[in-house]
Structure 1
Amino acid sequence: MKNVTHSFVFLAHWPSAGSFGLNTNILATNLINLTVVVGVLIFFGKGVCASCLIKRLLDNRKQRILGTIRNSEELRRGTMEKLEKARIRLQKVELEADEYQMNGYSDIEREKTNLINATSISLEQLEKSKNETLYFEKQRAMNQVRQRVFQQAVQGALGTLNSCLNTELHFRTIRANIGILGSMEWKR
């Protein structure tokens, strides 16, 4: 390590070689060019980062929606299990109804009808709730994405406007507007 350090020190102090040394002339070095290149990379790199952010937001929203759909499917499966149990119970009730019908009992028939109606209403409410949840999540995701895109577009436009406006252009615009206003006839 010591030999490597001595080699560099030796080359740096060897003025007659002319092939190695520290150039302190800022115009001869490419510092200005490097600054311009880095600035351009930063300017155009923002759009890439913004699209990555939007993609990440959309992916997150998609995962949430898929989670909601999975939850709704689990609720649907649970309801289907309840429905199957209700059908089994209905079959039992129908068998009992057949036995009691011979004996003249109509209360079982009413219980069967009420059970069918209650199960049907429960299924309809669950389906409606699932659809409303999916619609709401979809709308909320779309609104958030729209808002993000709009904010980024406005920020980009303001940045472009601020970077393009200089003092001369600003004064020219003011003079043109004053000329337009001066040429208009004022009505009272």
Structure 2
Amino acid sequence: MRNLIFFVIPFHFWLPAEGFKLNTNLLETNLINLGVVLGLLVYFGKGVLNNLLDKRKQTILSTIRDAEERYKEATDKLKQAQIRLQQAELKANEIRVNGLSEMEKEKQDLINIADEDSKRLEDSKNATIRFEEQRAIEQVRQQVSRLALERASEVLNNCLNSELHSRMIDYHIGLLKTMGSTTE
């Protein structure tokens, strides 16, 4: 302890004959006081200061470790999110491709159905036209037959006399009798 005091307060201030007196030099007094206070703080406060610094060091180290762990977790989560994003993009592309192929298939099916409907309508139209042609032809035949009968009846009425008329009736009756006997 004595060496410490000599270190803080130089020896030339401790002259034996002069005794104890006040130092009025402010610059020297403050330096001495500061030296004494710092010396005492270092000597007695070394353990407390070391404990405080160790605690601060441990706090900083644990904060750094926590930050590194959070960084690793965030990096892992980012990688997982990127993987999920890639999977989602692949799934979206797959759905889009499937949708396009389904759309093409549906389009082709609709075209085929429309073609079949068109063919059925064409066949129906042609059948209706043939039916109407047959009906028109039949009507024309009936009219021609009726007109021919009317004309023939008119010609016969004008050209036939009663004797020719009775001979013709007898002839046709004879034909009908021979036809009736051959069928039996």
Same fold (TM over 0.5): no
TM-score by length of structure 1 reads: 0.36
TM-score by length of structure 2 reads: 0.37
Q: Which has the higher contact order (CA 8 A, sep 6+)?
A: 1
